[in-house]
Structure 1
């Protein structure tokens, strides 16, 4: 192996970290402990805890949490074998390195000690050089195992397992010292979108840069008042994909909490640069406080999580302090999650249908399927509430599949009742389009209900169509090869490249309703709509306008030769049976035009 300057630096840092380990010695011979400590101090070790009274060894270890234990076997009342048994039976110390130092050099004692869980065994009188080597190897192995078990491989931060372990210890100590413990839980907003649109490597780079910035702010803001680097090291944890937590173990006043919020905001304010892309991150932050150890670990974690969840539900980019009101809101959200997971199985999801009308003849030529949730106690839950929740819970692929099958079933039923030559539009989410199984779902649904592919229209948003070009283009081509029509929804709200748009295998553009319903100047709105229609027609694309609510809207769109009209001026979304009646009675509708 070639040792580079970087390798050498890493080795020196590792040895430096090892030398800061807390070494605990339990021995009823104080002179022996003094000799061992003097020698190890000469080797660069600086932190020692010596104990003659073996009866208080376990309690002392819980309070001080040593990195390694040098243990004598022959001691009165509680001997080394008893301590070994107790430590290995404890989840807290089951992996603690224990080097036995004893005058019992017989094979039986050595074997018994090793069977009880001793890491290593040295006979007294101890050879100083051998002790130094054994100690270094033991601590190095401990560090390696801890890195695998307790630290996040991506950011290098301690992970959830280490966090829970450390928090329990901090709260237990807080009961004795009456210290106030604070958790600052941080969840990066919209992080999934970075992974989905830019790929996981870009997402990893964002997490690495943010964690480095935040850890630097922990130092800069002096959030951990300690001369011990390990206290600072164990202040910031990565708990999940984009979830981090600051553990402030002994704060004295509210200024520390304010400094922690400032640290988070400062870290977020630093732009994250990945290749040619610059990300400005925001976060939902929840704070929970335990005074004098009054709250157990699980409850404190739950409080911080609840506060973070409410911050996220409030739109993100904000901070919430836990309260009983927040707990109630979080409980409602949790209940909604559970209900949403079971909504399809319980028959609560339904499709409503909004008519689409040919602009020139004013004949109903199709409809758009819109998902609605009829909750047994909450009534109709707004799509603006449950769709983002379904996306967050990764439920959209399964919900989307249900929509595809239900829409095809309904088309088949309507066809058997005489409704022919209509086209049904279905919205497809980013999560669905990111799952290649959508092709299989579409094929199976069409076959099962013997529906003509040309009667289906798949709508995807403009921003989604402009995503991962190769992947999206390939998937759209596969959908088109099935004979299904493709539509770009919300057109005009994204940042389309016309050259890229021309490459997409689409059949129509759907003008976003904001151009009709927004506060824009009428003349500018007319120019924009006219431009979009002319551009689409030059590309042989059908144009659909949604959000049509007035006769003036309809007149404008007909004048500019828009192809298809959709909006409340004709009808709100209707249940299947009502839509069928509406379709059959359409000829009796009186539409007044002044052209």
Structure 2
């Protein structure tokens, strides 16, 4: 035994699982492998237990018999390759069949190698050794990003740790640049994830080229490949050593930003992107790997909050902001449990009569620890952490419950509820809507779900399928902030949309600004041609109201009438407006009479709106 060349192999700790309905065969195989240094085995005689055993024990290699009762080797291969956790598990098939079709089928199902029965002992040892060698190589791939082929976070942390130790020894400095692509999710939503992946690959190439063109990157490691990594998603990290001054970091950062500003050609479309870059330094900002990475991430988040397309050095103020955000996130995760959320309702008013026709439900958060938290502060955190789906369902349910209460009191109004992109992307969302409607007893005809234009982009078939499933519940669909995203007649014709909400950014300057006024006129005309209702939000002045009346806009939202109100105040507002609406009906009747008279004479007059 001592002369065997594979004795004392480096894979002696590997777990080898044998799946065979013949116990004697497994005993022979184990004895042979034990003689060559292998020590850990798992034997499965009942093939029906094999898949579960593999998932639980995670062997390094499987010796799989093909011909077994109850569940054969082909079925086991199918099950393994359909699970991401076992898709690349090494499986050596044992077969007494010399039929080429059998081997071909096994290969198609993902078999790694073959051994013919009866098994040759020397061949068995060599096949096991070769398979484990390949696995060892594959394990090395765990240190590299499969998409961009850049080092991944694990390898970067290892190199950063080495760089910090070297800097501590030599009295040098180390910097970490955290590069996050701005609004990357919009690319995925508009062009699909495949286009997003292509963009990330091109970004990695540009970053590499930019570092090659820079003579200030670590002289100890001239290959920039060693200095850049893809952390996750749209985030990259760059390690800089042998630094002389912060001006060197600024020069590199500006070069990186500039290289990303040039257009990318993805799927025959020009895409323009920017990046937010956070910078943290050793020993100034942190003295450990984890802390340095965390501070670079905090600086990146601060750069995004400042408006994106910029860079930010870490500071104590940023740390305080990051701590505040972390505290908010922690509290936000328990906000439903603690019942800290409430709903306010903004009236949707007829511009002609002043009558309240509907309400938009808007979530508010009052924290005992932090006081009132504005929505523009906690909603982005909720979206980033995924909590928005829970909050969104809570808002939907509470809004429906309130609408039922009002209906029972004789106040029959539509109820608009915002739907986040994460909620909409969940295939179960139509079921959730139906469940809430059923459990609250709300009339589906009164519920309006508001989604943004960006949500509609991407996989048209999937989006359309979801929208029609939602519509099948009987609710109405509205496009919120219309005009700020990817406005297109195509999706308005394709999808079952009922309402357009003109974004407040176009209303604020009307009618004085001719461009804004022209955009509003165009949106209203387009909606009319498609038989869609139009809501204008952000109305604050009489001149804006009059302009929208002339266009026969259906409904108005804005501080001109009322800010979002608690339920009790909203009810009182509706009662007050009801009295004013009654006196306004005479005016509306006069307007209709004038319209009918002029129409009879062939004059073109806008619609009078909802009276």
Q: What TM-score does the superposition give when structure 1 sets the normalisation length?
A: 0.71
> Could you say which residue in structure 1 is the equivalent of 2:92?
none
Q: 2:493 aligns with which of 488, 493, 502?
A: 502
Which structure 2 residues correspond to residues 68-467 of structure 1 after superposition, within 5 A?
A: 144-145=137-138, 147-226=140-219, 232-291=224-283, 295-419=287-411, 421-465=412-456, 467=458
Distance in 1 between residues matched to 2:363 and 2:440, nearest whole Å: 20
Contact 1:160 1:239 in 2 (8 A): yes
Quickly say closer, same or farther: Cα 1:257–1:349, change in 2 above 3 A: same
Contact 2:278 2:312 in 1 (8 A): yes
Contact 2:190 2:457 in 1 (8 A): no
Provide the aligned C-alpha RMSD in A.
Answer: 3.3
Contact 1:422 1:455 in 2 (8 A): yes
Quickly say closer, same or farther: Cα 1:484–1:113, change in 2 above 3 A: closer
Distance in 1 between residues matched to 2:513 and 2:423, nearest whole Å: 37
Quickly say closer, same or farther: Cα 1:114–1:364, change in 2 above 3 A: closer
1:185-237 deviations in Å (ceiling 9; x for gaps) = 212111222223322211111111111111122221023344755x6432111
**Residue 450 (structure 1) shift:** 0.9
Q: 2:461 aligns with which of 445, 464, 470?
A: 470
**Residue 516 (structure 1) shift:** 2.5
State whether structure 2 residue 587 is matched by structure 1 residue 586: no
**Residue 575 (structure 1) shift:** 0.8
Distance in 1 between residues matched to 2:518 and 2:307, nearest whole Å: 34
Aligned residues: 466
Contact 2:217 2:240 in 1 (8 A): yes
**Residue 372 (structure 1) shift:** 1.7
Contact 1:466 1:496 in 2 (8 A): no
**Residue 389 (structure 1) shift:** 2.3
**Residue 387 (structure 1) shift:** 2.0
**Residue 156 (structure 1) shift:** 1.2
**Residue 453 (structure 1) shift:** 0.5
1:279-330 deviations in Å (ceiling 9; x for gaps) = 2221121111114997122222222222222112212211111222221121
The list of structure 1 runs, each at least 4 consecutive aligned residues, that deviate by more than 6 angstroms after superposition, is 111-115, 140-143, 590-595
**Residue 530 (structure 1) shift:** 4.0
Contact 1:487 1:509 in 2 (8 A): yes
**Residue 457 (structure 1) shift:** 0.8
Quickly say closer, same or farther: Cα 1:170–1:551, change in 2 above 3 A: closer
**Residue 425 (structure 1) shift:** 0.9
Contact 2:177 2:278 in 1 (8 A): yes
Structure 1: stretches of 5+ with no match in the other structure? 1-83, 89-110, 116-136
> Could you say which residue in structure 2 is the equivalent of 1:37?
none
Say which SS state the counterpart of residue 222 (structure 1) adopts.
Answer: coil
Distance in 2 between residues matched to 1:531 and 1:226, nearest whole Å: 59
**Residue 439 (structure 1) shift:** 0.4
Bigger shift: 195-204 or 150-159?
195-204
Distance in 2 between residues matched to 1:207 and 1:517, nearest whole Å: 37
Distance in 2 between residues matched to 1:329 and 1:219, nearest whole Å: 35
Say which SS state the counterpart of residue 484 (structure 2) adopts.
Answer: coil
Q: 1:563 aligns with which of 539, 554, 565?
A: 554
> Could you say which residue in structure 2 is the equivalent of 1:25?
none
Structure 2: stretches of 5+ with no match in the other structure? 1-9, 14-34, 40-129, 592-611
Which structure 2 residues correspond to residues 538-549 of structure 1 after superposition, within 5 A?
A: 538-549=529-540
